[in-house]
Amino acid sequence: MKRANQFSVRPNSTREREAFVRWLDASASLWNETNYARRQAFLSDGESIWDADTGTLEGKYKGVLSSSVAQQIIRRNSESWRSFFSLNEKYHAGKLSEKPSPPGYWGNEEDGRVLRTYVRNDQYTLEFGERSRLEVPIGSDLKDKLGLNRNQRLRLEISGNSKWSGEPGRLEIVYDELADTFRAFQPVTIDTSRLDSPLASEEAALDVGANTLVACTTTTGSQYLFSGRDEFERFRETTERIADLQALLEDQRTSSKRIDRLYCKRTNRRNHAQDALVRDLVERLYSEGVSTLYVGDLTGILSRHWSAWVNEKIHTFWAYRRFINRLECVCEEYGIAVDERSEAWTSQECPQCGERDETVRHEDTLTCPCGFEGHADLVASESFLRRQNNTAGSMARPVYLKWNKHSWREHHSPPSLAETTANEAYTNQSTASSGNLALGDSDD
């Protein structure tokens, strides 16, 4: 099983920083020249992309990059092209709905490009401790500039911890000009035996929402509510700030570095909350002995809702597919199986009498003519679980969690059934799509 260690890289001086950026910049240039040669061959009849003269390009850049790094850049580009050809075959065989595009370029200066490079696993050294450091190979041109001898490598300070231990893979280093940060990603192949949980036999089900990001019910009787209202408001505030700045642009410009930084900030802030939610939830489920987690299969039903407010939550803020991908990844760490199944009607079905057509969902509340009234998202997750496991028993008081910009903390009082938000959609069976309002983001 593969995992990744992530840490920050911090050059020690201005001269070292300039050399490090030049090293990354040369990597991007080598990628772009290699990719350009191969794209030209791809667009020309009768030419093979593998005939591109990558040897000459390697020689051109090895004085800055070192031969091993230059080779890794070209090899990584080759992998991208092989992946493209594989997807292209699937597309022509009718197995993919969208036609794939050839590998792209690594940005340009006007866009605030993201520079990156790759270092072979036997060409770098990582040490963690009081003086954590990273050593990487550089070319002779940079060594001369920094006063290093031919056997020395560039040594950089790093910040972070090695979470995973195992067989290290190819190191990826990224410099984001907009955020002005250096990050390194070390893939590691770990032994999965230590994650086995043979005694785990409980099950759980998730309902993904908008106001409540996640509602979860387990066969042990536990229920969890992760509120998304505050984070969505911060997301909207940033969106409105972006719109204000876009209105001030001149000369038909569509963006600026300031706007790009706000986009990055908005996305990173959402992703941080989402990743922390997944980690918190999975650790709770693991401690309860959950071995199977059911999530809704929303393939093909991420439809547009008539409310623009709901659409912004569904298609822009929540990023459903990214959430599921992250959930599957973390669950794999803990030996929990993720099973995507249909959750149609769970948001409209009364848990007391089974009524669907006459129930009404307003905000967080589901009401039924039989007299039942409950939290709609919790009802949905409980109904979803009972559909998969008929042994689900009585439920304990839900654990209500709110995001404090750093972590998810248990809140002393969950929202009342009558708690509402202005302009939110009022839905019942007649306005719901496919019998169930699907919440997520198909674009991420």
214-266 pLDDT, tens digit per residue, is 999 999 889 999 988 888 888 888 888 988 998 888 877 878 888 888 888 88
Q: How far is CA 126 from the centre of its chain?
A: 26
Residue 315 lies in a domain: yes
Domain count within the chain: 2
Name residues whose C-beta falls within 8 Å of residue 380's C-beta, 6 or more positions apart in sequence. 207, 215, 343, 346, 347
DSSP designation for 240: H
Do residue 181 and residue 221 come from a single domain? no
Which of 196-200, 224-228, 247-251, 378-382 has the lowest average pLDDT? 196-200
pLDDT at 420 over 60: no
Least confident of 105-109, 169-173, 277-281: 105-109
Give 38-87 as a DSSP string.
Answer: HHHHHHSTT--GGGS-HHHHHHHHHHHH-HHHHHHHHHHHHHHHHHHHHH
pLDDT level of residue 135 (50, 70, 90 thresholds):
very high
245 is a domain residue? yes
| Residues 7 and 92 placed together within one structural domain of the fold | yes
The mean-pLDDT minimum among 69-73, 208-212, 245-249, 331-335 falls in 208-212
- The residue out of 150, 173, 190 marking a domain boundary is 190
141 versus 422: the higher-pLDDT residue is 141
Q: Same domain for 344 and 381?
A: yes
Quick one: pLDDT at residue 430? 30
120 falls within a domain: yes
Residue 181 pairs with which residues in a beta bridge? Answer: 176
Closest residue by Cα to residue 440 from 320, 343, 273: 320
pLDDT-derived band at 348 (thresholds 50, 70, 90) equals confident
Q: Does residue 132 lie in a domain region?
A: yes
The CA distance from 204 to 294, in Å, is 6
Q: For 37-64, write each residue's pLDDT tens digit.
A: 999 999 887 789 999 899 999 999 999 9
Asked if 116 and 207 sit in the same domain, the reply is: no
Same domain, 263 and 123: no
- Is the same domain home to 173 and 206? no
Using only C-alpha atoms, the chain has a radius of gyration, in whole angstroms, of 26
Rounded average pLDDT over 14-43:
93
Q: Which of 144, 163, 190 marks a domain boundary?
A: 190
Question: Is residue 316 over pLDDT 70?
Answer: no
What pLDDT shows up at residue 133? 92
For residue 361, the model assigns a pLDDT of: 73
Say what percent of the chain tops pLDDT 70. 82
Give the DSSP H/E element, type plus range, for residue 3: strand 2-10
- Model confidence at 292, in pLDDT bands (50, 70, 90)? very high
Asked whether the predicted pLDDT for residue 311 surpasses 60, the reply is no
Given a cut of 90, whether residue 30 has pLDDT beyond it is: yes
Q: Provide the percentage of residues in the chain whose pLDDT is more than 90.
A: 35
- Residue 124: domain span: 2-190
174 and 204 in a single domain? The answer is: no
Residue 348 lies in a domain: yes
Residues 152 and 207 in one domain: no
Cα torsion angle, 353, 359, 362, 367, sign: negative
Most confident segment among 22-36, 87-101, 154-168, 364-378: 22-36
Q: Does 444 map to a domain?
A: no
CB 227 within 8 A of CB 211: yes
**Whether residue 167 sits in one domain with residue 45:** yes
Q: What is the pLDDT of residue 306?
A: 40
Within this chain, do residues 380 and 337 fall inside the same structural domain, yes or no? yes
Q: pLDDT tens, 406-417?
A: 889 887 655 444
- Judge if 276 and 315 occupy the same domain: yes
Report, as an integer, the average pLDDT of 384-391. Answer: 79
Residue whose C-alpha is closest to residue 169's, from 129, 105, 126, 115: 126
Same domain assignment for residues 225 and 163: no
Residue 214 in domain: yes
pLDDT tops 80 at residue 340: yes
The DSSP code for 128 is -
Residue 443 lies in a domain: no
Kindly tell me the sign of the dihedral angle through the C-alpha atoms of 152, 154, 155, 160: negative
Last residue of a domain, one of 159, 190, 221: 190
CA 137 remoteness from chain centre:
30
The pLDDT score that the predictor gives to residue 267 is 86
Nearest to 387 by CA among 424, 356, 422, 360: 356
Please name which of 212, 220, 217, 202 lies closest in space to residue 351, comparing C-alpha atoms: 217
